[in-house]
Structure 1
Amino acid sequence: MCVDKAGGNRGKRSIWRSVPRWARVCTILGVVLVMLSGTVLVGYQALVARYEGAVGKADLFGDQAAGVVEEKKSDIKGPLNILLVGIDPRNAETPPLSDSIMILHVPAGLDRAYLYSLPRDLRVDIPAFRKANYPGGNDRLNAAMSYGSRVSGQNPDAAQGFELLAKTVQQVTGIKRFDAGAILNFTGFKKIVDAMGGVDMYIEREVRSEHRRPDGTMRQLQPGGGGYLGPQAVYEQGDAHLNGWQALDYVRQRYPRNGVPDSDYGRQRHQQQFVKAMVSQAFSADVVTNPLKLDRVLRAAGESLVFSGRGHSVVDFGLALKDIRSDSIETIKLPGANIGSGSAYQGERLLPEAEDFFAAMRNGQIDAFILEHPDFKQKNS
């Protein structure tokens, strides 16, 4: 997706801009899945086998290929770092694009979490990756998964691409080792939201859809690509109940002309807000005490997830994180800035303060850091 087969930067830029943006939200399902499984499965043991069997499994970190034998322990101890990546699986032949990259950091107490996003357009050094014959280079962060997924004579391998992306993110953040990882696709996003009966959340300001009509059908693209025609779905400021397509559409919006003045950073904020809304809904009595609805939610979630717990199952992680609730998830905005603007736009960069955040996270001082730097907390607008 983000690979220019002709080798030109101009072609690569046009491909990036043409990729649908709605898949970026899909990583939020990973956070919900990890937390949802813990609380509900304690009381519904009959669903454990169904859920565990539905979740896709893969060697996302290259452990098996490297001959690493993970020690399976009966408990999971913090602190934890979990890498969540959303992709747009358009077809089996197209290299996967990591359109959303989130990290869930859980301190040692396992009773709260910090959720932050890395900009997909962040300029980074991507390390060489022999498995895909990739020599390494400087590019946008979301290119790493595409480069790493290449398999000679075969369809791209998203799990292999995840491995290179994880290595790249480790370089950016200084995280030595991820404790778990997940790949989410948008296919199951609408299904899980609808299986839950929709999600309630607060809309911070009026947002107008770029792509959808009020009834959910797609707006018509103008001839020559000059925008879309027809009425727009509108998400009014205030409390809202969103079904699957509405949730996916809302968190997709990123243009100032549609009511998102801070563009990609606003979209990241909306995604993180929706994480917390989904967690709240997952813990609601309407879901937890309804075995039929719960079963639908878990099966829809399992169909959307490829998971690696590096020796632990997704259920193990769910049980370990069972005490986390939506009000104990702090969403973080990393300080960043554009590199270039307009037609000269080259991507994003993180400001030096972001490295202070990463250092505090690595040193177990994240709580104190946030108290001293409240501006890192994601605001509602």
Structure 2
Amino acid sequence: MGSGAPRWARALVGVGLALALVAVAAVVGVQVLTERYDRAVARGHLLDDDARRNRTDPEGPLNYLLVGSDRFRGTADADQRSDTILIVHLPAGLRRAYLISVPRDLLVAIPPAPNGYGGGQDKINAAYDLGGGGDGGAQLLSATLHRLTGLEFDGAAVVDFTGLRRVVDLLGGVRMCVDTEVRSVHTGTVFAPGCRQMDGAAALDYVRQRYDLPDGDYDRQRHQQQLLRAMLDRAGQTDLLGDPLKLDELIRAVGDSLTVDTNGVPLEDLVLALRALPADALLGIRVPSSPQLIGQVSYVVLDDGGNELFEAVRGARMPRWAAANPRWVSPL
């Protein structure tokens, strides 16, 4: 992000709510931004009661759940699986943000849901659909993660990544660096190695791919983390103050892409608490795990290192864990 952008603007990507504010945080004041944001974005009850932290300390540690889906907000589609699941952890002092990507095929125990689902073993990305999508789906997903990790969450956001294409386009595209050739199974596009400017359709197509990559879904997770950082970088380079019509269009676009649950904390208070997060504070984390074929179905299975990761988050020991496990850490 550009050096002239407020530090809190960078921080917001770490809490998920950034995807609504990232494009405008560098050019408008906190109060104006939050007032306009509050009118544009949908609010939801996204966290299961057992997964919700009863009291949020603005100085941390903080945990946020970010769920990415191609369909949400009252969609009637049968398949509403969550393609992206991020746990964002900020240790006390809010000087670092860890973006922990949960593998979509992770084998978990999904608890019963109020909609009649009786619970069972499945891939974690099925929890959103089994809970009925929308608020209910997010609640079941958060309950599943709480059971798996022991974590409680300070807030959550459900992001329609299809809707984010418009946000990226309004930013003028983002610069993405491709390290390994990627062929899209959706459009046939071949993304050759090298850095280039991508529009919204290309960027979202690129970060959805996982087949034929050296590390499969783990590479997809890293690419999605890189997109969040690229959006921040682009926001710091874009001046929207001189174009109020475009600014309002952007706010509407991000509002159409998000449903948020701030756990009762006013957005302005959250912004002010996070304003000192440094520009280089984002680290991408892969959950230690391995693929396994079980009953002719491909799953990802958590290993002891994954359990140690979540123990480190619960025990406020993430800096020590990251230093001891560099293979699972990617600076963004």
The residue aligned with 1:24 is none
Alignment of 1:45-84 (within 5 A): 45-62=31-48, 76-84=58-66
Matched, 1:239 2:195: yes
Tell me, yes or no, if the aligned pair for 1:28 and 1:272 is still in contact at 8 Å. Answer: no
The residue aligned with 1:105 is 89
User: Tell me, which stretches of 5 or more residues in structure 1 are unaligned?
Assistant: 1-26, 150-156, 213-231
Tell me, yes or no, if the aligned pair for 2:112 and 2:119 is still in contact at 8 Å. Answer: yes
Q: Which moved more, 1:320-329 or 1:137-146?
A: 320-329
| Alpha-carbon distance change, 316 to 303 in structure 1, aligned in 2, over 3 angstroms | farther
TM-superposed CA distance for 1:310, in Å, is 0.8
Q: Which amino acid aligns with 2:71?
A: P
The residue aligned with 2:264 is 311
1:283-332, Cα deviation, whole Å (9 max, x unpaired): x1424655534443332111100000110244443343233355210001
Q: Which amino acid aligns with 1:133?
A: G
- Give the SS at the match of 2:63: strand
| Alpha-carbon distance change, 275 to 364 in structure 1, aligned in 2, over 3 angstroms | same
Counterparts of 1:244 and 1:173, CA distance in 2: 33
Counterparts of 1:376 and 1:262, CA distance in 2: 12
Matched, 1:368 2:320: yes
Counterparts of 2:99 and 2:186, CA distance in 1: 28
* Amino-acid identity (%): 39
Tell me, yes or no, if the aligned pair for 1:251 and 1:270 is still in contact at 8 Å. Answer: yes
Alignment of 1:244-259 (within 5 A): 244-256=200-212
Counterparts of 1:268 and 1:93, CA distance in 2: 24
Tell me, yes or no, if the aligned pair for 1:37 and 1:318 is still in contact at 8 Å. Answer: no
1:32-63, Cα deviation, whole Å (9 max, x unpaired): 32663894476264343221111100111255
The residue aligned with 1:178 is 153
Calculate the aligned-residue CA RMSD, in Å.
3.0
**Structure 2 residue aligned with 1:165, among 136, 141, 151?**
141
Counterparts of 1:49 and 1:317, CA distance in 2: 14
How high is the TM-score relative to the length of structure 1?
A: 0.74
| Alpha-carbon distance change, 34 to 327 in structure 1, aligned in 2, over 3 angstroms | farther
Counterparts of 1:62 and 1:209, CA distance in 2: 35
The residue aligned with 2:16 is 30
1:60-117, Cα deviation, whole Å (9 max, x unpaired): 1255xx9x9977x8x8231110001112227425353112111111111113200011
Counterparts of 1:40 and 1:311, CA distance in 2: 25
Matched, 1:142 2:121: no
Tell me, yes or no, if the aligned pair for 2:53 and 2:153 is still in contact at 8 Å. Answer: no
The residue aligned with 1:187 is 162
User: Tell me, which stretches of 5 or more residues in structure 2 are unaligned?
Assistant: 1-12
The residue aligned with 2:311 is 359
The residue aligned with 2:296 is 344
How high is the TM-score relative to the length of structure 2?
A: 0.85
| Alpha-carbon distance change, 291 to 62 in structure 1, aligned in 2, over 3 angstroms | farther
| Alpha-carbon distance change, 28 to 186 in structure 1, aligned in 2, over 3 angstroms | farther
1:223-261, Cα deviation, whole Å (9 max, x unpaired): xxxxxxxxx4332222211110010111112121xxx22
Which structure has the larger Rg?
1
TM-superposed CA distance for 1:195, in Å, is 0.9
Matched, 1:96 2:80: yes
Counterparts of 1:37 and 1:362, CA distance in 2: 32
Counterparts of 1:173 and 1:234, CA distance in 2: 37
Matched, 1:121 2:96: no
Counterparts of 1:234 and 1:125, CA distance in 2: 37
Tell me, yes or no, if the aligned pair for 1:34 and 1:314 is still in contact at 8 Å. Answer: no
Q: Which moved more, 1:284-293 or 1:366-375?
A: 284-293
Counterparts of 2:21 and 2:322, CA distance in 1: 23
Tell me, yes or no, if the aligned pair for 1:38 and 1:317 is still in contact at 8 Å. Answer: no
Counterparts of 1:69 and 1:240, CA distance in 2: 41
| Alpha-carbon distance change, 321 to 297 in structure 1, aligned in 2, over 3 angstroms | farther
Tell me, yes or no, if the aligned pair for 1:102 and 1:116 is still in contact at 8 Å. Answer: yes
Matched, 1:276 2:229: yes
**Structure 1 residue aligned with 2:276, among 319, 323, 328?**
323
Counterparts of 2:331 and 2:265, CA distance in 1: 34
